Amino acid sequence: MGWQHFDYNFINEFLELISCKYEYFINMKSIIASVLVLFISCTTENKNTYLTSEDPWPETLGNHRAVLNVNEPADAVELNIVWRRNDRKPEEKKFIIINESGDTIKNIQRIFVDNERCQLVFGPIEKIGKYYFYYLPYFVQEEYGFYNKGYLEHENEPEKSWLGKIEISKLPKAKLLGFQSRTAFDSFYPMEVIALQSEKDSLLNIHKNNFLIFPEDRKFPIRMLNEIPQKWIESGPFLNFKGEAQRNEYYTFQLGIFAAQKDLENIKVEFSSLKNGEVEIPVSNLTCFNTGGIDPYGELFVKRVDVEKGKVQPLWIGVDIPENIAKGNYKGTVTVSPKNAEPQTVNVSLKINNEVLTDRGDREAWRHSRLRWLNSTLGIDDNPTKSYSPIKFSGENTYQFTGKK
């Protein structure tokens, strides 16, 4: 029996039996089960690599490709890969296969295509070596402005004479070497590489909570709302977050909320202060940008957050770190409380170094410190910006500005 047909229910029933007999294993059940899921998911397929090309290819081929290897000439070869795509209707988009010499393959016969897997036959193959499979080509817009084009439509049907030569069971196999993005900006890895349905089913069979929390570093913004990334299958849900920050930094991180078992209603977020001995960062310095803030008129507002079953809601958390605070490890909690589900509490540990960030971190976009600008009240009062004088009317259609008339 292959690992892909492994009975995950057996794992859970076995751990339940142990837990009932030996109290020690109750706390270990989730850890053991998560390790088993990770082990099994890794053995069902080779670990794919996701890289950025060192030499960007022409944009007309799209921004993503699979790199293949074919080691023998043939009328046709079979490709069967797990590609974990998040885009809608991948079966409707054009496929282009080119060998490393630049020759385009004439015939592509699709066998099965969805967001998880792709099985197809292509040929004829006259040269061995690398082949590049471009699966998201689009119309390139040369001018600037609003993009109003789209992806290229399905490739032409293969030649009937070529199809007549194919016996799929006897075809050589093309080997997947990995996936590439045209530039680092285009990359889907790791936050837009989806988990397989079988992996999600196994995860939910082990973790029975109404919702699961996946703390995530700011370097990996949560992008998918309808899927969970493969990365979360590997890590599993957990209730601890560790980060590292500098003095005077506006530090941010995320909590990914996955509505695993039912719809979640009116999620509230509550903080404790972050303490390091007698020193603390007060609750007033912590913010959840998704549940409220300050509107354009300087007024406080509260936002209702509901999450449909099977969906993901990222919660962005901001921590305003004082410039004069002592370095050290600051610990506290964030509690997530849906109206219709038991609350869960995440333990937060933030290591603050001695370095001071004079710009709060705003020069480096990956820090997401500019999120605090959403709650800024600068510029909404009647006072001019510092070093400028109020505008004055001098009569006869004349106004005086700072240094101007």
> How does pLDDT run across 332-349, given as a tens digit for each residue?
999 999 999 999 999 999
- Residue percentage of the chain with pLDDT more than 90: 80
Q: Which DSSP state fits 69? A: E
Instruction: Pick the closest to residue 28 from 17, 38, 41, 15 (CA basis).
Output: 15
Q: For 154-199, how does the pLDDT look when each residue is reduced to its tens digit (9 = 90+)?
A: 999 999 999 998 998 899 999 999 999 999 999 999 999 999 999 9
- The answer to whether 68 and 196 have CB atoms below 8 angstroms apart is no
| DSSP per-residue string spanning 223-251 | --SSS-BHHHHHH---SEEEEEEEET-EE
More confident of the two residues 20 and 145: 145
Burial of residue 124 (number of CB atoms within 10 Å: 0-12, 13-18, 19+): middle
pTM here is 0.84
Euclidean distance between the first and the last CA atom of the chain, given in angstroms as a whole number: 86
Q: For 67-82, how does the pLDDT look when each residue is reduced to its tens digit (9 = 90+)?
A: 999 999 999 999 999 9
Q: What is the mean pLDDT of the chain?
A: 90
- Longest Cα pair distance anywhere in the chain, in angstroms? 93
pLDDT score, position 383: 84
List Cβ<8 Å contacts ≥24 apart for 309-312: 309/259, 309/260, 309/261, 309/262, 309/263, 310/226, 310/259, 311/225, 311/226, 311/258, 311/259, 312/222, 312/224, 312/225, 312/226, 312/227, 312/228, 312/256, 312/257, 312/258, 312/259
